[in-house]
Amino acid sequence: MGCNASTLAKIHNVDELILETGFSSSHICHLYNRFHSLDKDDKGLLNRDDFQNISELAVNPLGDRIINNFFPDRVDLIDFNSFARTLARFRPVENSPKKEPDSPEPINSRANKLKFAFQLYDQDKDGKISNNELLQVLRLMLGVQVTEEQLDNITDRTIQEADLDGDNAISFEEFKKSLEKVDVETVLSIRFL
Amino acid sequence: MHSPVLLQIVVLVTSTSFALWTADFPGSDASVISQILEPVGIAVESSQSSAPPLHRQYGVDTGNIASAAARAPVNDITDPIVSSRSPPGDQHRETEPVSFEIVKWNWEHAQRPFLIAVWIMVASLAKILFHLSSKVTTVVPESCLLILLGLGLGGIVLAATNRTEYQLHPKMFFLFLLPPIVLDSGYFMPSRLFFDNIGAILMYAVVGTLWNSSATGLALWGIKQAGLMDKKVDAGLMDFLLFGSLISAVDPVAVLAVFEKVHVNETLFIIVFGESLLNDAVTVVLYKVFNTFVEMGSDKVRAVDYVKGVASFFVVSLGGTVVGLVFAFILALTTRFTKRVRIIEPLFVFLLVYLSYLTAEIASLSSILAMTFCGLCCKKYVEANISQKSRTTVKYTMKTMASIAETIIFMFLGISAVDTSMWTWDSALVLFTLVFVFVFRAVGVILQTWVLNHFRLCPLDWIDQVMMSYGGLRGAVAFALVILLDKSKVKAKDYFVATTITVVFFTVMFQGLTIKPLVKWLKVKRSNQQKPTLNEELHERAFDHILAAVEDIAGHHGYHHWRDKWEHFDKKYLSQLLMRKSAYRIKDEIWDVCQKLNIRDAMSFVDQGGHVLSSAKLSLPSLPSRTSFSETSFTNLLRENGSGVCLDLQVIDTVRSIKDKEDTVMHHVLAGNLYKPRKRYQANYSRHFISADEQEWQDREVIQRNMRCRLESFRSTKHSVYQSKGKSRHKKSQKKHRSSDVNGEVPNGKPKRNISWQDTVPVVMTMESEEEEEENSGAEKEDDEGITFVARAADEVLLEGKPSSTLGVCQSPFLLPPSPTCAEKELPWKGDQGDLPACVSSETTKIVPIDLQQAWNQSISSLESLSSPPVSETQQLQRRTVPPTRLEERGAPGALARPPLDPFFQFPERALAAGRSSEEDSAECIQQQELRPLMSPDKQPRPGSSTGSAGARWPVQFNRAAQISLLKNVVTASPYKGSGQTDL
């Protein structure tokens, strides 16, 4: 894929990016190529349409929301660094426990991974998954096989299950707590080539 | 240390019976023994047996084996007997009866099945005996004990008859004993986990086995060349490679037997176990190839043969898989159309999976692979298609067969080992084999893991590697394969047999014994067998979508991408094709989990009614985060027991506080003394009761009602809609009073119903008599009245006793009357003894959902009360067999739901099966519950929500009170509804 220094040179602040994301330079290179293949009209930035052109994403029930997660704070275009940073959350967590206490939290930390998932639900960005928000996601994921009544039921149950402070919504803390038994580090990771 | 003694007993008993047989029956000892042995797969290797497919599969010509000098005499003796045993032979003999015989001894007639049954019996009894001492079985794996038992039995037979005929016959093993185990493991293999780790599994299964066998074979050959081995071990390179191929395969049976008890984490388990299943293909091919080479003579082997060998590997493994998939498809499709023939549904599962095994065997493909994949792939669709009962049947039958097959395998491994005629010991060979097997396994695992960890998301750490190398147990497959060797071609067969037996014993016994301490010592991650919460299920589903999307975005078509594709394909085409429409519609997993959780919650919710009341917050068992101590323990218990099979309240409650424990003890005493006579009473009467169909329907109704109420209550709790419930609760109590006032009123008024509901017990008691003497008269009609009276009394007491607290609520200890009441509060089922009304509400709520019978009782009683006019109080009292104290108690609102009631009435089915253990019952109960379609809250008006005037009397309108009322609703809902329906 023509992965070499010249490609890297094209990327803005590449060293910083590598440091921040933890991707190796070949990862970065690979992603950069991907970025450009997604970028249909070579504008150096990606917009939502570019993402939506990925055919597989169209059949993904959460596709739209996942795309939205790539666009923080209502921006409509993202550059490569932002793109890579988002993907970096799904890097597997290194096993080496060389944690310096003052080092910043790695981008692929458990909390960050969960944050990404949490944002899928929390559409109004108020830091809470409300009953309604959960219902919408459920509707997306469950499709037509499940009746509205069942959906309600599941939603209620889920919220009750996770809701610790009784506000009938799931905060991020509660979200984390409800998944504390899940090996998120492994489950929410993919292998980048 | 009971076990050795027990063992001896078993051995003694068995040996005596053998001695008896041999003494009793005419004919030579040997012949009888050989008859005994043969059917169980013990080799009296008859030359007539046409080479079974298996032999072909492994490329061994067994035809000559039987001519081995050692066996010949036995054959001569056996064969005539075998032929005379057949029915035609019998008839022939008896063509000219001398005279009519009153009793005939037809031993030959049923000999085979009889002996098989006896052997299975012995094996099963041995299992029971082992488990009598839980201490032994936690330390020593069952497989070890069974081998020891086998050794003992074999030794006795050897001593008694001077013959060693028992043997694990390869044909028997591969055709009958192995399939159940493979089926069980394939069918119940966690498919997601399996496919998540398929890369590692394949790597270990293929590369690992290749490495192990070649390294072992070569190393042994090297030892031989170095002259360290006895000269008599007449084997060349090919022989050693052949031996290496059969000794190197990790054995699924042994692995399963040992690892099942160890509970290592799922990933580790699935890798070791998956490897042991999938390496079958490699083993088969290697064995076949080398066996052919040995028979051809190594000098004649040409390069093209090696190529063929490699090609054969692909054909065997892929072919086996394809066979499995095809049969899985057929099976799934078949079960789609079994709606009218539910009763044979389970049979299809077994038949088709077994057919896949046999088909693969016939085509000399990898039969284990075929069966594994067939079970693995068909499960999803089959489970969706067949009924719940069939599912249970399949599950239990599979487990039973696998377990018994495993038992027999290990026992006969032990028995076979006694047969010294077939083995020749060479210390060097045995010792080096042991070392090589272990060392090469370890080296192989480390090398492969090193490679794998470059690709794995969660690398396998060194502890995992140690466990994997240590878990490489050899077992019956190796033994059966070595027995299949052709002595005339493989000169060193006897040595190989001895070595194989030693290796198998060493791995199973020594490693099996030490693996548990090792796991503890290394602190291997254990599996946490928690059921997923709804949140986990839901979010993990979301995670899957996220990962698939991220892979797409990153342009990297990895595992998640393909899984996503597969799921799409499955959803769009496969499921549509293979699942019933109805099953397809409701099969969503999240909904499934939700449903299960709901049921579980509903049960435990009501079950822990008392605790809910006394703790400030409503807690659900499936909400781990919020739980108090007792609830946590309860939840865990439920979880550990899967779908909540164990709802034994006594067990559950022992984890509570000391006082509760005391109470529990007391309860046990009381329960032990009081239950039985009533149970008998009940059993006598319930026979004539209502037809099973209606009963089931009723059960369902009750559960649904309860569920609905529960759901409603949760919802309302959430929304702080406490008011109406509180009111309804209050209203209920009011109604009670009113009802007592208006005793004489028309029976179908609401108050009436209330009364009857509350007073289930007396009604139930008299129920049978009512039925029987239905036409008789008004004498019985007074039932309700008596009940009413009692109820009122209780209520009043209650009110007087605690004016400041809410009705029937045990909020805190100080409110409670002295000890009995407290006890009652915590252990509601004790209601029988205590007569303190304070506990009423908790008791009431407690039992309903747990015991369907009671629910049934209640609904029935409510129906009954409507239909039958009241009986005068005195009469009723006379009728009752129970002491007055109890009577009064029963009057209390809570009494209806108490477990002690349970003996008063039983479902017809139950009554018949009175002998069954309570566990079974509860399990059944739960399954029934699971069957039920859950809550559609809107269908029924909420029973408790009718308005009441009582707001003022309800001083504390807070959460707890609301919950209490909810609980009340749960209880009261059913009778209302039931009676309402009858009204209509």
User: Is B625 close to A177, i.e. CB distance below 8 A?
Assistant: yes
Higher pLDDT, A54 or A102: A54
Do A83 and A137 have their domain in common? no
Q: Looking at the domain assignment, is residue A78 inside a domain?
A: yes
Q: Which of A47, A160, A184 to mutate to test the interface with B (most CBs of B within 10 A)?
A: A160
The identity of residue B203, as a single letter, is M
Chain A closest-CA separation from residue B543 CA (Å): 6
User: Is B550 close to A90, i.e. CB distance below 8 A?
Assistant: yes
User: Is A161 close to B620, i.e. CB distance below 8 A?
Assistant: yes
Do A19 and A83 have their domain in common? yes
Q: What is the pLDDT of residue B783?
A: 38
Asked whether residue B105 carries a pLDDT value surpassing 70, the answer given is yes
Residue A129 forms contact with B (CB below 8 Å): no
Nearest CA in chain B to A65: B546
Q: Which of B539, B597, B622 to mutate to test the interface with A (most CBs of A within 10 A)?
A: B539
Q: Looking at the domain assignment, is residue A3 inside a domain?
A: no
User: Is B534 close to A59, i.e. CB distance below 8 A?
Assistant: no
> What band does B580 get if pLDDT is binned at 50, 70 and 90?
confident
Q: What is the pLDDT of residue B710?
A: 53
Nearest CA in chain B to A161: B623
Higher pLDDT, B386 or B4: B386
Mean pLDDT of A17-46: 79
Please list every residue in chain A whose beta carbon sits closer than 8 Å to the beta carbon of residue B560.
Answer: 190
Rounded to whole angstroms, the Cα distance separating B306 from B687 reads 72
Q: Report residue B544: phi and psi, to 5°.
A: -60, -45
Q: Measured on CA atoms in the order A141, A147, A150, A151, is the torsion positive or negative? A: positive
Mean pLDDT of B411-423: 81
**Separation in Å, CA B95 to CA A16, B82, B88, B112:** 101, 19, 11, 23
**Separation in Å, CA B887 to CA A44, B410, B461, B644, B882:** 85, 58, 66, 33, 7
Q: Which of B193, B265, B461, B545 to mutate to test the interface with A (most CBs of A within 10 A)?
A: B545
> What band does B704 get if pLDDT is binned at 50, 70 and 90?
low
> Which of B535, B623, B714 minimises the CB distance to A179?
B535
Higher pLDDT, A138 or B55: A138
Q: Looking at the domain assignment, is residue A2 inside a domain?
A: no
Q: Return the minimum-mean-pLDDT range out of A158-172, B360-374, B732-746.
A: B732-746
Asked whether residue B743 carries a pLDDT value surpassing 70, the answer given is no
User: Is A190 close to B938, i.e. CB distance below 8 A?
Assistant: no
Helix B534-553 and helix A131-142: axis angle, to 10°?
Answer: 60
Q: Using only C-alpha atoms, what is the Rg of chain A?
A: 19
Do A83 and A122 have their domain in common? no
Mean pLDDT of B271-285: 87
Higher pLDDT, B786 or B130: B130
**Up-side HSE of residue B528: CA atoms within 13 Å toward CB?**
8
Residue B585, Cβ neighbours under 10 Å: how many?
13
Q: Return the minimum-mean-pLDDT range out of A38-52, B375-389, B422-436, B519-533.
A: B519-533
Asked whether residue B362 carries a pLDDT value surpassing 90, the answer given is yes
Among the listed residues B659, B608, B486, the one whose alpha carbon sits nearest the alpha carbon of residue B60:
B486
Asked whether residue B352 carries a pLDDT value surpassing 90, the answer given is yes
Mean pLDDT of B805-826: 39
> Which residues are bridge partners to A170 per DSSP?
A129
CB B322 within 8 A of CB B248: no
User: CB under 8 Å to B457, separation ≥6 — which residues?
Assistant: A92, A186, A189, A190, A191
> What band does A19 get if pLDDT is binned at 50, 70 and 90?
confident
Ranked by mean pLDDT, which of B149-163, B188-202, B346-360, B566-580 comes out on top? B346-360
Q: What is the pLDDT of residue A79?
A: 81
Mean pLDDT of B557-569: 80
Asked whether residue A42 carries a pLDDT value surpassing 70, the answer given is yes
Give residue B168's region: left, alpha or beta (phi > 0; psi -120 to 50): beta
Rounded to whole angstroms, the Cα distance separating B58 from B361 reads 10
User: Is A141 close to B541, i.e. CB distance below 8 A?
Assistant: yes
Structure tokens belonging to residue B392: 């249970």
Rounded to whole angstroms, the Cα distance separating A6 from A102 reads 34
Mean pLDDT of B516-522: 86
Structure tokens belonging to residue B596: 């299960």
Among the listed residues B167, B733, B222, the one whose alpha carbon sits nearest the alpha carbon of residue B422:
B167
CB B276 within 8 A of CB B251: yes
DSSP state of B343: G
User: Is B546 close to A66, i.e. CB distance below 8 A?
Assistant: yes
**Residue B663: burial class (beta carbons within 10 Å; 0-12, 13-18, 19+):** buried
Mean pLDDT of B558-576: 81
Q: Report residue A39: phi and psi, to 5°.
A: -80, 90
Rounded to whole angstroms, the Cα distance separating B101 from B108 reads 17
User: CB under 8 Å to B604, separation ≥6 — which residues?
Assistant: B620, B621, B634, B635, B638, B644
Averaged pLDDT score across all residues of chain B: 64
Q: Looking at the domain assignment, is residue A5 inside a domain?
A: no
Higher pLDDT, B332 or B848: B332
Do A111 and A82 have their domain in common? no
User: Is B539 close to A145, i.e. CB distance below 8 A?
Assistant: no
> Which of A51, A137, A157 minimises the CB distance to B553?
A51
pTM for this structure?
0.60
Quick: pLDDT tens for B238-247.
888 899 998 8
Residue A182 forms contact with B (CB below 8 Å): yes
CB B432 within 8 A of CB B169: no
Q: What is the pLDDT of residue B845?
A: 36
Asked whether residue B441 carries a pLDDT value surpassing 80, the answer given is yes
Quick: pLDDT tens for B912-931.
444 444 444 444 444 444 44
Rounded to whole angstroms, the Cα distance separating B630 from B657 reads 8
Asked whether residue B971 carries a pLDDT value surpassing 60, the answer given is no
Residue B860, Cβ neighbours under 10 Å: how many?
22
Quick: pLDDT tens for B137-184.
778 888 888 888 888 888 888 888 776 666 778 888 889 999 999 999
Higher pLDDT, B139 or B76: B139
Mean pLDDT of B654-678: 43
Chain B closest-CA separation from residue A101 CA (Å): 24
Residue A62 sits in a domain whose CATH number is 1.10.238.10
What are the b/e assignments for B1-20, b being 16+ CB within 10 Å? eebeebbeebbeebbeebee
User: CB under 8 Å to B237, separation ≥6 — which residues?
Assistant: B217, B218, B221, B298
> Which of B556, B560, B625 minimises the CB distance to A192?
B556
Asked whether residue B751 carries a pLDDT value surpassing 90, the answer given is no
User: Is B549 close to A60, i.e. CB distance below 8 A?
Assistant: yes
Q: How big, in percent rounded to 5, are the helix, strand and coil portions of chain B?
A: 75, 0, 25
Do A114 and A192 have their domain in common? yes
CB B922 within 8 A of CB B899: no
Please list every residue in chain B whose beta carbon sits closer than 8 Å to the beta carbon of residue A92.
Answer: 457-458
Do A114 and A186 have their domain in common? yes
Please list every residue in chain B whose beta carbon sits closer than 8 Å to the beta carbon of residue A137.
Answer: 542
Q: Report residue A129: phi and psi, to 5°.
A: -95, 115
Structure tokens belonging to residue B513: 């014994």
> Which of A138, A146, A190 minimises the CB distance to B550?
A190
Domain range enclosing A171: 107-193
Residue A3 forms contact with B (CB below 8 Å): no
User: Is A188 close to B936, i.e. CB distance below 8 A?
Assistant: no
Helix/strand/coil (H, E, C) string of B578-642? HCCHHHHHCCCHHHHHHHHHHHHHHHHHHHCHHHHHHCCCCCCCCCHHHCCHHHHHHHHHHHHCC
Among the listed residues A131, A134, A105, the one whose alpha carbon sits nearest the alpha carbon of residue A118:
A134
Do A135 and A83 have their domain in common? no
Do A114 and A164 have their domain in common? yes
Please list every residue in chain A whose beta carbon sits closer than 8 Å to the beta carbon of residue B552.
Answer: 54, 56-57, 60
Nearest CA in chain B to A149: B936
Do A53 and A113 have their domain in common? no
Helix (H) or strand (E) holding B225: helix B209-225
User: Is B459 close to A87, i.e. CB distance below 8 A?
Assistant: no
Do A189 and A119 have their domain in common? yes
**DSSP, residue by residue, chain A:** ---SHHHHHHSTTHHHHHHHH---HHHHHHHHHHHHHH-TT--SSB-HHHHHT-HHHHT-TTHHHHHHHTSGGG-S-B-HHHHHHHHHTTSPPPS-----TTSPPPTTSHHHHHHHHHHHH-TT-SSEEEHHHHHHHHHHHHGGGS-HHHHHHHHHHHHHHH-SSSSSEEEHHHHHHHTTTS-HHHHT-----
Ranked by mean pLDDT, which of A16-25, B774-783, B795-804, B853-862 comes out on top? A16-25
Please list every residue in chain A whose beta carbon sits closer than 8 Å to the beta carbon of residue B714.
Answer: 156-157, 160
Rounded to whole angstroms, the Cα distance separating B74 from B44 reads 7
Q: Return the minimum-mean-pLDDT range out of A62-71, B281-290, B402-411, B439-448.
A: A62-71
Name residues 68-107 of chain A within 8 A of B (Cβ): 70, 87, 90, 92, 95
Rounded to whole angstroms, the Cα distance separating A121 from A133 reads 6
**DSSP, residue by residue, B411-426:** HHHHHHHT-GGG----
CB B875 within 8 A of CB B740: no
**Separation in Å, CA B687 to CA A21, B767, B780, B867, B899:** 73, 12, 20, 21, 20
Ranked by mean pLDDT, which of B533-537, B586-590, B883-887 comes out on top? B533-537
> What band does A44 get if pLDDT is binned at 50, 70 and 90?
confident
User: Is A179 close to B536, i.e. CB distance below 8 A?
Assistant: yes
Chain B closest-CA separation from residue A80 CA (Å): 12
**Separation in Å, CA B759 to CA B738, B754, B788, B964, B972:** 15, 8, 7, 20, 12
Among the listed residues B357, B12, B339, the one whose alpha carbon sits nearest the alpha carbon of residue B181:
B357
Q: What is the pLDDT of residue A193?
A: 61
User: Is A190 close to B551, i.e. CB distance below 8 A?
Assistant: yes
> Which residues are bridge partners to B782 per DSSP?
B870
Q: Looking at the domain assignment, is residue A95 inside a domain?
A: no
Residue B894, Cβ neighbours under 10 Å: how many?
29
Please list every residue in chain B whose beta carbon sits closer than 8 Å to the beta carbon of residue A177.
Answer: 625
> What band does B587 get if pLDDT is binned at 50, 70 and 90?
low
Q: Looking at the domain assignment, is residue A74 inside a domain?
A: yes
> What band does B833 get if pLDDT is binned at 50, 70 and 90?
very low
Do A139 and A174 have their domain in common? yes
Mean pLDDT of B115-130: 87
Q: What is the pLDDT of residue B648?
A: 32
Q: Looking at the domain assignment, is residue A140 inside a domain?
A: yes
Q: What is the pLDDT of residue B849?
A: 41
Name residues 162-181 of chain A within 8 A of B (Cβ): 162, 164, 168, 175, 177-179, 181
Mean pLDDT of B858-886: 45
Higher pLDDT, B492 or B893: B492
> Which of the listed residues A41, A58, A88 is the one where a domain comes to its end?
A88
Residue A190 forms contact with B (CB below 8 Å): yes
Q: What is the pLDDT of residue B714?
A: 55
> Which of the listed residues A60, A88, A116 is the one where a domain comes to its end?
A88
Asked whether residue B858 carries a pLDDT value surpassing 90, the answer given is no
Chain B closest-CA separation from residue A100 CA (Å): 22
Asked whether residue A102 carries a pLDDT value surpassing 80, the answer given is no
Q: Return the minimum-mean-pLDDT range out of A147-156, B87-96, B481-490, B805-814.
A: B805-814
Higher pLDDT, A16 or A74: A16
Give the three-class secondary structure for B430.
helix
Q: What is the pLDDT of residue B839?
A: 35
Please list every residue in chain A whose beta carbon sits closer than 8 Å to the beta carbon of residue B533.
Answer: 161, 178
User: Is A158 close to B535, i.e. CB distance below 8 A?
Assistant: yes
Chain A closest-CA separation from residue B292 CA (Å): 44
Chain B closest-CA separation from residue A65 CA (Å): 9
Structure tokens belonging to residue B97: 């009866």
Residue entry with tokens 């991974």: A113
Quick: pLDDT tens for B917-968.
444 444 444 444 444 444 434 444 444 333 333 333 443 334 444 444 444 4
> What band does A104 get if pLDDT is binned at 50, 70 and 90?
low
Count Cβ–Cβ pairs < 8 Å, chain A vs chain B: 162
Q: Return the minimum-mean-pLDDT range out of A46-55, B8-17, B346-355, B458-467.
A: B8-17
CB B306 within 8 A of CB B356: no
Q: Return the minimum-mean-pLDDT range out of A28-37, B94-103, B416-425, B726-735.
A: B726-735
What domain count does chain A have? 2
> Which of the listed residues A56, A88, A120 is the one where a domain comes to its end?
A88
Q: What is the pLDDT of residue A139?
A: 77
Chain A closest-CA separation from residue B549 CA (Å): 6
Asked whether residue B107 carries a pLDDT value surpassing 50, the answer given is yes
Q: Using only C-alpha atoms, what is the Rg of chain B?
A: 34
B544, B545, B547, B549 alpha-carbon torsion, rounded to 10° = 160
Give the three-class secondary structure for B251.
coil
Rounded to whole angstroms, the Cα distance separating B225 from B834 reads 85
Please list every residue in chain A whose beta carbon sits closer than 8 Å to the beta carbon of residue B590.
Answer: 138, 141-142, 146, 154
Rounded to whole angstroms, the Cα distance separating A167 from A130 reads 9
Please list every residue in chain B whose beta carbon sits closer than 8 Å to the beta carbon of residue A34.
Answer: 553-556
Residue A8 forms contact with B (CB below 8 Å): no
Asked whether residue B645 carries a pLDDT value surpassing 60, the answer given is no
User: Is A92 close to B539, i.e. CB distance below 8 A?
Assistant: no
Q: Looking at the domain assignment, is residue A114 inside a domain?
A: yes
Do A117 and A81 have their domain in common? no
Q: What is the pLDDT of residue B715?
A: 56
Name residues 39-58 of chain A within 8 A of B (Cβ): 51, 54, 56-57
Q: Which of A36, A146, A153, A174 to mutate to test the interface with B (most CBs of B within 10 A)?
A: A153
> What band does B253 get if pLDDT is binned at 50, 70 and 90?
confident
Please list every residue in chain A whose beta carbon sits closer than 8 Å to the beta carbon of residue B547.
Answer: 90, 188, 190
Quick: pLDDT tens for B705-723.
555 645 655 555 544 434 4
